């Protein structure tokens, strides 16, 4: 998504001169908070390298509900689009390279490039599908079934994400995850 967008803009030299400054590349360390729960999202981040997570605090407990990797975009969509406070935090899990785009610049890009608006809508629909699957999985699947599904359908999470975040994502404790893993 990142490269396609930039290449599309570069095709028109006049547009590239106008928009090249809106793509701010940032290198961040692991455990860097990009958006704190309760803040208003003013940026969307495109991941060139690294891994981010979205999480919220429930009675002092860290609950992870989504991971993002290279080529994906991340923002608190509701906050970003409607100027409401974010219900969750966005944090890096590993050192990452991001392209940051401010809200005002993103709105102008969407107006100028309708194809980008379509891609953004697809991103939102994909996010809704992910949330729906997570919701149903929490209702119908056992923790062991959720873990097996994760291994089968999202192995990158197993390879790159620390176990305590995976446990939080699965809705179990790290000890329970360890027991599930040892049964294999």
Interval 98-129: pLDDT, tens: 999 999 999 998 888 888 888 888 888 888 88
At 2 the pLDDT is: 62
Q: DSSP of 64-97, one letter per residue?
A: EEEEE-TT-EE--HHHHHH-PBPSSEEEESS-EE
The DSSP symbol for 22 reads G
Model pLDDT, residue 14: 82
Ranges of residues in the chain with a pLDDT under 50 are: none
Give phi and psi for 138, each to the nearest 5: -65, -30
Q: Which of 125, 117, 168 lies closest to 147, judged by CA?
A: 168
Structural domain spans, the chain: 2-133, 141-184
| Residue 34, helix vs strand vs coil | strand
pLDDT value of residue 121: 85
Give the start-end residues of each E strand in the chain: 24-28, 33-35, 43-49, 52-58, 61-68, 73-74, 89-92, 96-102
- What CA–CA distances, in Å, run from 115 to 1, 3, 96? 11, 14, 27
How far, in Å, are 51, 112, 116, 144 from residue 12 at the CA level?
A: 32, 12, 15, 51
The pLDDT assigned to 102 comes to 96
pLDDT at 1: 58
**pTM for the predicted model, two decimal places:** 0.88
> Residue 59 to residues 37, 56, 62, 128: CA-CA distances in angstroms?
14, 10, 9, 25
User: How far apart, in whole angstroms, are the C-alpha atoms of residue 41 and residue 85?
Assistant: 7
The architecture (CATH level 2) of 2-133 comes to Sandwich (2.60)
């Amino acid at each position: 998504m990142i490269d396609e967008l930039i290449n599309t803009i570069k095709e028109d030299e006049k547009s590239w001169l106008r928009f090249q400054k809106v793509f701010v590349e940032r290198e961040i360390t692991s455990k860097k908070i990009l958006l704190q729960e309760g803040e208003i999202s003013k940026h969307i981040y495109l991941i060139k390298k690294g891994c981010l997570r979205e999480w919220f605090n429930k009675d002092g407990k860290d609950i992870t509900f989504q991971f993002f990797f290279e080529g994906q975009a991340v923002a608190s969509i509701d906050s970003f689009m409607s100027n409401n406070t974010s219900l969750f935090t966005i944090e890096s899990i590993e050192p990452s390279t991001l392209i940051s785009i401010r809200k005002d610049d993103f709105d102008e890009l969407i107006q100028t490039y309708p194809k980008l608006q379509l891609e953004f809508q697809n991103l939102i629909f994909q996010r809704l599908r992910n949330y729906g699957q997570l919701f149903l999985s929490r209702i119908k699947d056992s923790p062991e079934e959720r873990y097996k599904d994760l291994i089968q359908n999202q192995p990158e999470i197993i390879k790159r994400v620390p176990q305590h975040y995976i446990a939080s994502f699965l809705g179990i404790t790290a000890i329970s995850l360890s027991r599930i893993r040892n049964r294999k």
